[in-house]
Each structure stands twice: as C-alpha cells, then as structure tokens.
C-alpha cells in the first residue's frame, strides 16, 4: 500500500469530498494562495477557485459564524482555525450556536459544519499556541469530536466528518503533519465513534489518542523489550462519540488500564474514560486505573520544561510499571 504524510492524507480527503459534493466549501485564514499554515490546503484554490476556497479576515468569530449560517442553509462548510487556541475567539459561534441549533429547532435545522484545527505542544510555541482543547468540545452536547493520529485515520475520519449532518470538530496535532503511514487509493471512510486496537497485548490496556498514540506505542515496545510486559494499545480516534465498549473488551482481557493524553490532567478525557470504566466494568479491574497526562501548568517554551510538562514515553512506562506492581 502507498504511504502518505498526514498532511497529504488530509488534503486528499478534502479534494475527494469537494469533487463529490459541490456544497463543500473551505474557509479560513491564509488557506487559499498560501495553502494554510501547515499546507493542508495547498493547491486547492487552483483546483476549485476562490469561491470554494475562501481566505478570510483575521476574525475567527466572523468566519466561524459565517460557516454556521452557511451550514444552516444547505452548504457543507469546513472552517479551519489556524491554531486551536483561537477557538476561544469563536466560542459563542461554536458552543452556543452550532452545537445547539439542531436541538433548539426540534431537528428542523441541520448544521453540517466541520471545524478543523491543530493543537498540542512539542514545538516550543509557548502557552498561547500549544494548548489541547478536546475536553472543552467533548463537554458540550451537539458536537462530535474526531482526533486522528495516523494518516489513514486522518483521511477516513475527515471524510466522515464532511458527510455528517452535525457539527464535527476534527482536531489535528501540529507534530503529526510530517508523519507517514499507509493510505489506500480506493475510497473509504471511518465511522465516527469507533476506537481501534493499534497493538495487541495481554497484561495491561493503554488508552490514548492523537500524537500520544505514537508515544504509547513506543512505551509498549519498551515495556515488552525491557520488562516483559505485554501492553495493548487502543486509539480512541474520537472523544464524541466515545467508544467505551472497545476499552472494556480489552480490559476484560488485561484487567489493568492506563489512560494517557497530552491535555491537562484535570477534568480531561482520561478522567471521563476512567469514570465510565468504573461505572460499567469495575469488577474487571485488578488495580486502580492509572492516568498519565499533561501537567496542570501553562505549556513552557523551554524544550526541557515543555518535555517535562507533556507526557513522554518514559512517563507512560513509569506509570505502567507502577500499575503492574
């Protein structure tokens, strides 16, 4: 199978869906001639023209609000936020309008809107450009949240998001764009809300998503080679809908659970996963659930401090060893 970068997989998904459906329209800051800050939309304005690939003013509240209105009246807009941190500028449009309109209208108004944004640390971009906001979107009913970690998942989940009749936030990690992986040439999509077992194991289950999947897989290899511990690794792929069934199925085999994500530990997705497991499968646990997450501090710029604030493979290994005692 051919290999594509994460960037190429996302771009291919956009091209195929724009060719399939003329109602798909892209908008955002510098996504046209510049091709986006991470070059996902590079070349698309030449293929589809400025009417369907729209450069917008530096006003997230304006163009996200415009996208909500377009979605309500029959289009399928994809609004790109240059950095996830800027979602706060358009919070009312996302959380009070897009998320609630279908329910408040009794189902008469659909909002088939996709918001793409990248988040996360690891590049020394500082506290205002390194945050992970998936929990904020997960908390608000009416929004689906996809967080792909591989090029295959990025393309398949984005295609499903663009076909969905509800608002979907597709969250990418800024350090995943150059990563490569197999992507089939034939058309495919991945259902929103279906987790994937990325590595089989028998001693403990590691649940994660986004870039943290790469660290979890590294940690699993270290555990196997250095300690003889077999870890199963599950990629949630979406936090809404949240596939707890796959997690519990794995837990019934391993009886130990570690949840890891880059976002702050407090009130994070890991806490939600842990609580749902406690409610539904407490008797399957042979040890308390372990959580390895970002420190509850603003993300530092200095590389050494940033790596300490954000969970690394060594932190996952340490958590797993403590869990196995």
Closest CA to 269 of 258, 261, 257, 278: 261
CA atoms within 13 A on the CB side of 117: 25
139 is an active site residue: no
Element (H, E) at 235: strand 231-235
261: enclosing H helix or E strand: strand 257-264
- Of the listed 12, 60, 80, 172, which one is catalytic? 60
Q: Name the token pair of 251.
A: 């837990």
Q: Out of 17, 29, 129, 232, which one is annotated catalytic?
A: 129
CB 153 within 8 A of CB 7: no
Task: Give the whole-angstrom CA distance, residue 198 versus residue 17.
Answer: 27
Question: Does the annotation mark 173 as catalytic?
Answer: no
Tokens 């509240």 found at: 61
> What 8-state DSSP symbol labels residue 130?
S
Token representation of residue 91: 């919070």
What's the sign of the alpha-carbon dihedral 267, 273, 274, 275?
positive
Alpha carbon 27 to its chain centroid, in Å, reads 20
User: Read out DSSP for 65-119?
Assistant: HHHHHHHHTT-EEEEEESSGGGGGGGHIIIIIIITTHHHHTTTSS----EEEEEE
58/134 Cα distance (integer angstroms):
23
The residues carrying an active-site annotation are 60, 129
């Amino acid at each position: 199978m051919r290999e594509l970068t994460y960037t190429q997989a996302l771009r291919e998904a956009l091209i195929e869906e724009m060719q399939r459906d003329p109602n798909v329209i892209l908008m955002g800051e510098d996504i046209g001639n510049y091709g986006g800050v991470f070059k996902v939309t590079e070349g698309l304005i030449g293929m589809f023209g400025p009417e369907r690939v729209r450069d917008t003013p530096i006003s997230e509240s304006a163009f996200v609000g415009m996208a909500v209105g377009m979605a309500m009246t029959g289009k399928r807009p994809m609004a790109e936020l240059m950095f996830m941190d800027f979602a706060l500028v358009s919070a009312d449009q996302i959380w009070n309008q897009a998320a609630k309109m279908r329910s408040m209208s009794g189902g008469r108004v659909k909002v088939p809107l996709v918001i793409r944004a990248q988040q996360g640390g690891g590049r020394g971009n500082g506290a205002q450009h390194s945050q992970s906001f998936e929990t904020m979107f997960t908390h608000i009913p009416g929004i689906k949240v996809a967080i792909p970690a591989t090029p295959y998942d990025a393309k398949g989940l984005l295609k499903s998001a663009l076909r969905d009749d509800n608002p979907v936030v597709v969250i990418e990690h800024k350090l995943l764009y150059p990563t490569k992986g197999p992507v089939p040439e034939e058309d495919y999509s991945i259902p929103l809300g279906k987790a994937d077992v990325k590595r089989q194991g028998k001693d403990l289950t590691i649940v994660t998503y986004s870039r943290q999947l790469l660290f979890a897989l590294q940690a699993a290899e270290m555990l196997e080679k250095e300690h003889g511990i077999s870890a199963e690794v599950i990629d949630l792929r979406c936090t809404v809908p949240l596939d707890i069934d796959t997690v519990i199925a794995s837990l019934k085999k391993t009886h130990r659970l570690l949840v890891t994500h880059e976002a702050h530990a407090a009130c994070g997705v890991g806490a939600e996963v842990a609580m749902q497991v406690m409610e539904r499968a407490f008797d399957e646990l042979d040890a308390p659930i372990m959580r390895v997450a970002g420190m509850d501090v603003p993300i530092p710029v200095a590389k050494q401090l940033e790596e300490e604030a954000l969970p690394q493979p060594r932190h996952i290994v340490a958590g797993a060893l403590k869990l196995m005692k």
